[in-house]
Structure 1
Amino acid sequence: MFEHKFINARIMDGTGAPWFRGEVATVDGRIAEVGRSITGQAREIVDVGGRVLAPGFIDVHTHDDLAVLRDATHAPKLLQGVTSVVLGNCGFGGSPSSPARRDDLVRYAAPVLGPMPGPGAWDAFGDYLDALSGAPSSVNAVSQVAHGAVRIAVMGFENRPATPAEIERMCALVREAMEAGAIGLSFGLLYAPGCYADRRELVAVAATAARAGGMLNCHIRTEGDTLLDSLTEVMDIAEAAGAPLHVSHLKVVGKRNWGTIGRALDLIAGRRARGLDVTCDIYTYTAGSSTLLSVLPPWVSAGGAKEVLARLADPAARERIRRDMEGNLPGWDNFAGMLGWDRVVISGVDTEANRSLEGRNIEAIASERGQHPVDCMLDILLEENGRVTMILHQMSDEDVKSVLRSDFAMVGSDGIPLETGKVHPRHYGTFPRMIAHYVRQERIMPVEEAVRKMTAISALRFGLAERGLIAKGAFADLIVFDDGKIEDIATFEDPRRYPVGLDRIYVNGKLAAEEGKPSAERAGRLIRHRCACCGPQTSLACN
């Protein structure tokens, strides 16, 4: 007796092969049979009615580390057809931490991850994974350990190379995280404190993860004028560490750099030909999103929160910031200089007093306030204690298409799950937009290939064993959608709108959503990485 039998389906199995008309049967949360016609009874017959039956989408780049705990429904991702999420990206994470530096970690991570727990919470990375395991979500989750959190736990926001003893302490934290079940290590080299780390430190911590069978996932140092240098840096680090490498949200920023993404893709392809295991992801929009502090030169973020806020208020420091932003500091992406202040949009603030600024660009706000844009930005940061997020309109759609077409690219949303503000619409629409915009409208690839880039290759890359495919024995993470109607409807003006065209979503064989409404099921699982001899599992890590 099958639990479900899906009939009259156009099956896109995740491999990229042409769809075929057939049936799929499930038992105990797994796919029991796949074929043109399946004999045997089922408790529930699901007539797909000629629509697509595909593996659930896998969001390889999220900042949902705390969002899946705040709201187990996790509707912004689930209702896109996402059945699994990868956590711990860009060096941001809620663990590990040290009691003395918990406040620093909160300042670092809260603008991206949302409200953070207080002192004593998840000092060990295993504690965080236990929290995920003990509070099942509607989606599956796998997590990386964040280098930013590790460095803060050991040395806070000090702008200097780590000592050998400090590097060993960081390696110990990474090792403990891998033993607890982390899938790998993520760098955020654009952000403080990651940007303060030298090659010796970065190779050491990456090698620690690699020896435990983990991968290295990098938000590279710059994505504009010196993109190729930053790509070369992380590929060299990965080679030295013996680590598989994944490059987060590969792109080129700034109109003067548009069209050069082909050189970056060629650089990656060349390293792959030499034997480096390197892949990338990209979101399906031309605008990015981050913290407003990342617009500032890296030296501004050194030290604790009090030091940063003091600099923002100090006339001499403000003048230095203005000079740096009007000049060209080597090794730093000057977003405002490359894009213009009209392309830097406030998306989220911490106080009600400035809520009216959300959705407006710095140029317009500065004009209204009668200020220079730099002074305006610094004042807003001061008023909000540094907790401001932004949207940057920074990329070319042709460049996005080039990355999406590449053999080694997959899709990630990179959404910031804020509960207030004008969040980036990618948090609600990335995966439907892949099909609606890039398949139906732009016709850059067949829909089957788009599905592959959102399922099978993502599962293989991030250790989601037996997921991402419609195949006998695989977990029954399944979605039913109309490939002629699936569409993102979230906009920058009205971002919290759920997509249309998705009929049913199943996670581990349980109906998680139907017709745009989540069910009461919370069938998602925490997937812990295990040591190289055991492989990924859905239960406890190795003892």
Structure 2
Amino acid sequence: MLDWVIRGGTVIDGSGGAPFRADIGIRSGKIAAVGSCGEAAKTLDAAGRYVTPGFLDIHRHGDAAVFRPGFGRAELRQGLTSIVNGNCGLSLAPFGAAHRAELQRYLGAITGDIDPAIPTESMAAYLDALRARPLPLHVGMLVGGGTVRADCCGYAPGDADGALPELHRRLEHALTDGALGVSLGLGYAPECFYTPDGLLRALAPLQGSGVPVCVHMREEGDMVCDALREMLRAARLLRTPVHISHLKAMGPRNWNRRIPEALALLQQARDEGLEVSCDVYPYCAGSTQLLHLLPQDFLAGGTDAVVARLRDPAQRDILRERIAHGRDFDNIAQMVGWDNIRLTTLHRPEFLPLTGKTFAEAARLLGLEPVDCLCHVLAEEACNVTMIDFITCDEDIERILRAPFASVISDSLYPTEGLPHPRVYGTFTRILETFVRERHVLTLPEAVQRMTSLPAQALRLQGKGRIAAGMDADVNVFDLAAVHERATWEQPAQESEGMDAVFVGGAPAILHGAFTGAANGQVL
């Protein structure tokens, strides 16, 4: 006998193919049948509803959040049944004692507060700690190349050639321990200090391995296509899959210009036989460290060195000139302007009233010129500040969404103070509501494919992303007309609406629109 039958729904199976009517039979955590199903212990009437695979978000930063009470509600409400953390080179493991304090300071702006009880010394220890917890959905990890490099040699500039044997050993151990792939954060310290060839030497163990490499590229503004060419060269030489994280072109001078070229480069590489793909989040604003406004050479040496640099009047003058005229780095403040950068996570009492203010507003309130305000806030907060920056345009987002090799991701940060980005709560709902139902950018089968089978393929997640016999029974049931993103810029921490049922590993985590309390997730 089947455990569950979902009867009478319209199935969108994740392949991109046309919808069809079928029952879905579930037994022992797997989809046992698609079509006509026999008797079951329990049934769910899905008439008038769509039945899809559970959605996958392969780019989140919930490395610390998965250990917090209440984790999973925001994800399940938008139909997520699997997530992958450890992105942008910034995984919470593996690292030991040598650079622990500096790593935790650097990661904290991305992950939020880090519980000291979370084991970080190895990927195995971290994943074992996850397995020991009740998980409301499936969770996987990438090993961050930046974390591994910082653990080996701190935040020193230059290539890491002197530490390559140890760096290689730690990468290999993390993969053996269960990491799904390697993530790179070439826009962040310390990986921004690699030369292109130095990066290839650091990744040498991956050559011909088939291990996916997920890349936050070196540049995402004026030089985004040059940065993409660097990674396509890496894909050719390493002969392993390369996945471009949150593809974008920052700043109005790059909108509607760079992304058509980038997509053409990716398609050409695929036509040559390279296993390359990308993903995109469906918002015109990103969210990251305020440090990301600085030139990469200002990041050398770690937080203490950065703070000393920012307090030096001569260095401030250099920074003022670089931001005003520099084109040799992702100069976000110049590309989008201070009015399009909002402060979102601050800690010191005197700065809390700046939360949610644009940088231009914050500078006026503090009576400072913007660059002096930037230096003052970063230095006083020991660099632990986040921002939301309005950087891209809807037309480019739509172009990427239409690409047949592009997945949907959220790139969610999990601050424990201040304002989160609404994408934490609404990304996948937004795709259904805004880009399918309202704007008709994608058909529903196309959208579901980009949230299920394509991300599963990118990270080689076996059993995920399709409605078919033998696949894992991660299943969503919903009425498209009822799906609604409630999160806003002003009030982001609002759960989405519209999921009638969300099955995780064959058990309903949401049933008839209500949480069941089931914790049937597994470590991927």
SS in 1 for 2:222: coil
User: Quick check: 1:358–1:421 contact (8 Å CA) kept in 2?
Assistant: yes
Q: CA deviation at 1:267?
A: 0.9
SS in 2 for 1:310: helix
Bigger Cα displacement from structure 2, 112-121 vs 240-249: 112-121
Aligned residue in 2 for 1:387: 384
**Which of the numbers 188, 196, 199 marks the counterpart of 1:199?**
196
User: Quick check: 2:130–2:523 contact (8 Å CA) kept in 1?
Assistant: yes
Q: For residues 359-404 of structure 1, what are the alpha-carbon distances to aligned partners after superposition, in whole Å with 9 as ceiling and x for unaligned? A: 1100011122221011112211123221111011011100000000
TM-score by length of 2: 0.97
Aligned residue in 1 for 2:413: 416
User: Quick check: 1:478–1:506 contact (8 Å CA) kept in 2?
Assistant: yes
| Mapped partners of 1:516, 1:102: distance in 2 | 42
Letter in 2 for 1:308: V
Q: CA deviation at 1:218?
A: 0.4
Letter in 2 for 1:224: G
Letter in 2 for 1:284: P
1:306 aligns with 2:304: yes
Letter in 2 for 1:182: A
Letter in 1 for 2:260: G
**Which of the numbers 87, 94, 97 marks the counterpart of 1:96?**
94
SS in 2 for 1:256: coil
Aligned residue in 1 for 2:347: 350
| Mapped partners of 2:387, 2:290: distance in 1 | 6
The aligned length equals 523
User: Does the C-alpha gap of structure 1 residues 91 and 17 become closer, same or farther in structure 2, counting only changes over 3 Å?
Assistant: same
Q: For residues 301-338 of structure 1, what are the alpha-carbon distances to aligned partners after superposition, in whole Å with 9 as ceiling and x for unaligned? A: 211322121112121221111111112142x1000000
Structure 1 gaps of 5+ residues are 528-543
Correspondence list, 1:499-518, <5 A: 499-514=496-511, 517-518=514-515
Q: CA deviation at 1:465?
A: 0.8
Q: CA deviation at 1:120?
A: 9.3
Aligned residue in 1 for 2:294: 296
Letter in 1 for 2:347: D
User: Does the C-alpha gap of structure 1 residues 352 and 508 become closer, same or farther in structure 2, counting only changes over 3 Å?
Assistant: farther
User: Quick check: 2:241–2:274 contact (8 Å CA) kept in 1?
Assistant: yes
1:525 aligns with 2:522: yes
1:59 aligns with 2:53: no
Aligned residue in 2 for 1:109: 107
Taking every aligned residue pair, what percent have the same amino acid on both sides?
36
Q: CA deviation at 1:22?
A: 1.7
SS in 1 for 2:203: helix
Aligned residue in 1 for 2:398: 401
**Which of the numbers 142, 153, 169 marks the counterpart of 2:166?**
169
Aligned residue in 2 for 1:24: 24
User: Quick check: 2:221–2:250 contact (8 Å CA) kept in 1?
Assistant: yes
Bigger Cα displacement from structure 2, 55-64 vs 235-244: 235-244
Letter in 2 for 1:147: G
| Mapped partners of 1:497, 1:230: distance in 2 | 36
Aligned residue in 2 for 1:10: 10
SS in 2 for 1:7: strand
SS in 1 for 2:99: helix
SS in 1 for 2:44: strand
Aligned residue in 2 for 1:77: 75
**Which of the numbers 413, 438, 441 marks the counterpart of 1:441?**
438
Letter in 2 for 1:247: I
User: Quick check: 1:56–1:505 contact (8 Å CA) kept in 2?
Assistant: yes
| Mapped partners of 2:212, 2:19: distance in 1 | 32
**Which of the numbers 25, 39, 42 marks the counterpart of 2:40?**
42
Aligned residue in 2 for 1:536: none
SS in 1 for 2:342: strand
Letter in 1 for 2:91: G
Bigger Cα displacement from structure 2, 337-346 vs 19-28: 19-28
**Which of the numbers 246, 249, 252 marks the counterpart of 1:252?**
249
| Mapped partners of 1:524, 1:447: distance in 2 | 26
Q: For residues 235-260 of structure 1, what are the alpha-carbon distances to aligned partners after superposition, in whole Å with 9 as ceiling and x for unaligned? A: 11222122210000001110011101
Letter in 1 for 2:2: F
Q: For residues 204-224 of structure 1, what are the alpha-carbon distances to aligned partners after superposition, in whole Å with 9 as ceiling and x for unaligned? A: 333323554311110001111
| Mapped partners of 1:4, 1:280: distance in 2 | 35
User: Quick check: 1:481–1:504 contact (8 Å CA) kept in 2?
Assistant: yes
Q: For residues 446-505 of structure 1, what are the alpha-carbon distances to aligned partners after superposition, in whole Å with 9 as ceiling and x for unaligned? A: 101100110012112212211111111111101111112212121111101111111111
User: Quick check: 1:174–1:209 contact (8 Å CA) kept in 2?
Assistant: no
TM-score by length of 1: 0.94
SS in 1 for 2:3: strand
User: Quick check: 1:506–1:512 contact (8 Å CA) kept in 2?
Assistant: yes
User: Quick check: 1:6–1:45 contact (8 Å CA) kept in 2?
Assistant: yes
Q: CA deviation at 1:117?
A: 4.3
SS in 2 for 1:322: helix
Aligned residue in 2 for 1:533: none
User: Does the C-alpha gap of structure 1 residues 232 and 205 become closer, same or farther in structure 2, counting only changes over 3 Å?
Assistant: same
Q: For residues 164-206 of structure 1, what are the alpha-carbon distances to aligned partners after superposition, in whole Å with 9 as ceiling and x for unaligned? A: x312211111111111111111110111111001223321333
| Mapped partners of 2:115, 2:6: distance in 1 | 43
User: Does the C-alpha gap of structure 1 residues 392 and 203 become closer, same or farther in structure 2, counting only changes over 3 Å?
Assistant: same
| Mapped partners of 2:428, 2:204: distance in 1 | 33
1:490 aligns with 2:493: no
| Mapped partners of 2:12, 2:209: distance in 1 | 34
Bigger Cα displacement from structure 2, 241-250 vs 191-200: 191-200
User: Quick check: 1:13–1:471 contact (8 Å CA) kept in 2?
Assistant: yes
Letter in 2 for 1:49: A
SS in 2 for 1:511: strand
| Mapped partners of 1:516, 1:424: distance in 2 | 24
1:160 aligns with 2:158: yes
User: Quick check: 1:73–1:522 contact (8 Å CA) kept in 2?
Assistant: no
Aligned residue in 2 for 1:316: 314
Aligned residue in 2 for 1:530: none
Q: CA deviation at 1:98?
A: 2.7
Letter in 2 for 1:345: R
User: Quick check: 2:94–2:123 contact (8 Å CA) kept in 1?
Assistant: yes
Q: For residues 408-450 of structure 1, what are the alpha-carbon distances to aligned partners after superposition, in whole Å with 9 as ceiling and x for unaligned? A: 1010000111132111101110001101111111111210110
Letter in 1 for 2:125: D
1:373 aligns with 2:394: no
Structure 2 gaps of 5+ residues are none
Correspondence list, 1:464-475, <5 A: 464-475=461-472
After superposition, the CA RMSD in angstroms is: 1.5
Aligned residue in 1 for 2:235: 238
Aligned residue in 1 for 2:325: 327
